[in-house]
Structure 1
């Protein structure tokens, strides 16, 4: 069964499991990518093709756009590798905000804009028009000195996102904020605040169902309030919310992984999700993302089968 209104893809973070590469650590994956880049990238793209999805979302190194160009020699060559496998570059994840520190400073903003412009030109050249952007992380509860995410702080960040969105729009690319757990854009109140302060034509939304649950909110209710801003979505399952005092540090993404689970095994109400997108007329990419899956091809294929058998009849 097919449905032209929904197209399915995968974020390449799905392939960040040592077992898939026959190594014993994430560092070993990075070393393999560095020493055998062509074999590394060919295996990823062949695996995406074998899983049954047709879209690819690039992410952090060694799965980023610079690595892809360096491996295949040019933007055109990478686009050709996608095309010959029947794949499309659906989007690219921009993780620089999270690592930028205090990007309220003009110099930091200019550096981020420069990186985003180069990325946008690459995406456009490969046929994509969506840049998914991770928001800055929150502060660990109780940390000192306290930095509140209040209206004033949110407005500074929103003003930058508005400006960045307008710059990307001029290059033919749309900005979509990703609901990353423990960032300023995941829990319901934070999402509502940022959606209110950002300008809809320039700042869109990429809801991630699992991250919203990990942040303690309901993805169906939250996305229903902002459905007109959604231009791409990450479909992922989670076991439940994380403790509110979880340390937010350089290991936070590793801390998330035990809370993520296979598609249909967690707390996401998938039939309600399908009805919501159907009733709101959503058309676009559905990214079946798993964080570092040991068997990514099998897991993506199984998720796609579940979607086609159980959810697409609802959606149609």
Structure 2
């Protein structure tokens, strides 16, 4: 398995993120799609940045509001555009992220059918470019809960549509990450490793907190509620021969991006027994 680092923690500071993540030893990166696509017409410069920091581009985030039929053509076009950029930079994974807002009561069956149709068409277009589209259930969106995930997986073509489990988003939506990963193991082609902040965070656990700061929903690997789950998931994927990317992701640091991804690195290497 290969370890990647999402540069989301550095926000819009792509160059600083690349520099510091590289210094920490990460050799794969995912970043905000719009930051990467700024180099759409200057591939040489982007590839030089990757080479300078010893990175492979593990994936970019695509997707869209799949459940609205009127948006299907635009979704296919935009995801195809991102897939072309990925392929040109030696990457073969695109994350299909659904969008919000989430409807009260969840996504209806008709909406899920429309979403599956859009996902199938966009995924086939990406597949033609050598890029695998991986559906990523996400809190606050049209594909969040287990029934919505199951419906999408059932109604999409396994030859073109793959799965990107995110440990924290699955758990926060009430699912057992390991159970879901076992169910869809044959379609897993990308993974986000993420931890959930505890309900009550103390300065002892997170020294950077002054006592009146709100914890982000997600936190550094190993400091939240999912250490055991992360170990189980990693062990299962390793035992079943998964050899793709395991992407460390923390949306917002409780200290500095560098320190947060250092903490994640130590958990990945010491507890998950993965090599950067």
Q: Do these two structures clear the TM 0.5 threshold for a shared fold by scoring above it?
A: yes
Deviation at 1:75, TM superposition (A): 0.8
Q: Is the 8 A contact 1:132 1:177 kept in 2?
A: yes
Deviation at 1:10, TM superposition (A): 1.6
Q: Is the 8 A contact 1:206 1:233 kept in 2?
A: yes
Deviation at 1:156, TM superposition (A): 1.4
Give CA-to-partner distance per residue, 1:183-226, whole Å, 9 cap, x none.
23332222111111111111111111111122122111111111
- Aligned counterparts, 1:301-312, within 5 A: 301-312=262-273
Q: Is the 8 A contact 1:50 1:297 kept in 2?
A: no
- Aligned counterparts, 1:26-65, within 5 A: 40-61=13-34, 64-65=35-36
Poorly superposed stretches of 4+, deviation over 3 Å: none
Q: Is the 8 A contact 1:213 1:267 kept in 2?
A: no
- Aligned counterparts, 1:38-187, within 5 A: 40-61=13-34, 64-69=35-40, 74-95=42-63, 97-98=64-65, 103-105=68-70, 108-137=71-100, 139-141=102-104, 149-187=107-145
Partner in structure 2 of residue 244 of structure 1: none
Unaligned runs of 5+ in 2: 200-213
Deviation at 1:265, TM superposition (A): 1.9
Q: Is the 8 A contact 1:234 1:286 kept in 2?
A: yes
Which structure is higher in helix share?
1
The whole-number CA distance in structure 1 between the counterparts of 2:184 and 2:192 is 15
TM-score for the superposition, normalised by structure 2: 0.85
SS at structure 2 position matched to 1:311: coil
Unaligned runs of 5+ in 1: 1-5, 17-28, 30-39, 143-147, 242-255
CA RMSD in angstroms comes to 2.4
The whole-number CA distance in structure 2 between the counterparts of 1:240 and 1:280 is 30
SS at structure 1 position matched to 2:5: strand
The whole-number CA distance in structure 2 between the counterparts of 1:230 and 1:240 is 28
Q: Is the 8 A contact 2:137 2:143 kept in 1?
A: yes
Partner in structure 1 of residue 211 of structure 2: none
